[in-house]
């Protein structure tokens, strides 16, 4: 199966080529995908650990099982600023 | 309720005029503007980008929750994208309510929550380089347990 990866901000600058469709094994979870991105050298672990994941534009937990054609966005910490 | 992402300048005065209704006793306005420095480093401009479809859904959710949880009458929530210069409005929140307490509380809650959960990022261009701003860590219910 394949999912549509979306990267933003600093992540997209580091790995512009990953903002594309990506082949995954059936039954892959969000956590499994993040581990694969690190293992394949796509994104550094430190950034992945600080990021959140959205599946089909909703925040998703690491245990979420991905389905064919899902849109999976890796979201670095949002713009923040001191209160 | 008005929720929007836009590249054009935000017309704060017009939106404040527009939201007011006879039953309101107050509007509370948060006008977030581009500061001329970060920790003393001089800022030339900021470039904002968003995961637009998701950001809009999240922003609508915040406005809905503000109305439901604080009992305010109406909310305007507009964020600008693209290149912004020092002094320009990046985010505008207006809360209209019969009484000021709820308006203040809802306005504060909307900006604090937006800054942690709505997928919008800013790149700061300084005189001597550019960096993506460090965001705030995601709340636990969003980040999940990755280890």
Structural domain boundaries of chain A?
2-75
User: Is residue B141 domain-resident?
Assistant: no
Asked if B116's CB is within 8 angstroms of A80's CB, the reply is yes
Alpha helices in A9-67 (DSSP H): 9-14, 30-39, 45-50
| Encoded tokens for B135 | 């965001």
Residues paired with residue A58 on neighbouring β-strands, in sequence order: A55
Q: Is residue B9 part of a domain?
A: yes
Q: What is the mean pLDDT of residues B27-43?
A: 95
Q: Which of A51-65, A66-80, B50-64, B128-142 bottoms out in mean pLDDT, i.e. has the lowest? A: B128-142
- Residue A80 above 80 pLDDT? no
B8 within a domain of the structure (yes/no): yes
**Length of chain B in terms of residues written:** 147
Q: Report yes or no on B35 lying in a domain.
A: yes
Q: Report the chain B residue with the minimal C-alpha distance to residue A7.
A: B51
With cut-offs at 50, 70 and 90, classify the pLDDT of residue B136. Answer: confident
How many other C-beta atoms can be found within 10 angstroms of the C-beta atom of residue B103? Answer: 25
Total domains in chain B come to 1
B52-71 b/e (C-beta count within 10 Å ≥ 16 → b) = ebbbbbbbeebbeebbeebe
- Looking at residues A35-51, what average pLDDT do you find? 94
What's the pTM value of the predicted model, to 2 decimals? 0.93
The percentage of residues in chain B with a pLDDT greater than 90, rounded to a whole number, is: 86
Average pLDDT over all residues of chain B? 94
Q: Alpha helices of B71-136 — where are they, by DSSP H?
A: 100-117
From the CA of A53, how many Å to the nearest CA of chain B? Answer: 8
For residue B140, what pLDDT is reported? 82
* A54 near B CB under 8 A: yes
Domain coverage including residue B32: 2-130
Residue spans of alpha helices (H) in B1-147: 12-19, 52-70, 100-117, 140-143
| pLDDT at position B145 | 55
Domain-embedded: residue B59: yes
A57–B contact, CB cutoff 8 A: yes
Q: Helix, strand, or coil here: A29?
A: strand
Domain A2-75 has CATH 3.10.20.30: yes
Angle between helices B100-117 and B52-70 (to 10 degrees): 150
Closest CB to A8 among B49, B53, B147:
B49
Residue B60, domain member (yes or no):
yes
CATH number at residue B102: 3.90.1170.40
In whole angstroms, give the CA distance from residue B107 to residue B48. 22
Which residue among A8, A63, A77 places its CB closest to the CB of B138?
A: A77
Confirm whether B16 is domain-assigned: yes
Read off the pLDDT of residues B84-125 as tens digits, 9 standing for 90 and up: 999 999 999 999 999 999 999 999 999 999 999 999 999 999
Per-residue pLDDT, B144: 65
Q: Which pLDDT value is given to residue B147?
A: 45
């Amino acid at each position: 199966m394949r999912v549509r990866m979306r990267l933003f901000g600093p992540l997209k600058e580091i790995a512009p080529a990953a903002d594309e469709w990506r082949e995954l094994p059936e039954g892959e979870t969000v956590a499994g995908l993040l581990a694969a991105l690190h293992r394949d050298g796509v994104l550094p672990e430190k950034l992945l650990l600080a990021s959140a994941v959205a599946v089909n534009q909703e925040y998703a937990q690491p245990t979420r099982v991905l389905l064919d054609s899902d849109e999976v966005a890796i979201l670095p910490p949002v713009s923040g600023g001191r209160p | 309720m008005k929720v929007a992402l836009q590249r054009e300048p935000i017309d704060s005065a017009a939106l404040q005029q527009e939201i007011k209704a006879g039953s309101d006793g107050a509007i509370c306005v948060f006008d977030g503007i581009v500061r001329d420095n970060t920790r003393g480093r001089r800022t030339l401009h900021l470039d904002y980008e968003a995961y637009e479809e998701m950001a809009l859904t999240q922003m609508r959710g915040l406005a809905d929750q503000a109305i439901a949880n604080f009992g305010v009458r109406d909310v305007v929530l507009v964020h600008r994208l693209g290149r912004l210069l020092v002094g320009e409005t990046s985010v505008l929140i207006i809360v209209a309510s019969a009484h000021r307490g709820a308006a203040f509380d809802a306005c504060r809650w909307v900006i604090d929550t937006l800054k942690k959960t709505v997928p919008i990022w800013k790149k700061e261009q300084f005189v001597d380089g550019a960096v993506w701003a460090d965001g705030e860590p995601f709340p636990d219910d969003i980040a999940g347990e990755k280890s």
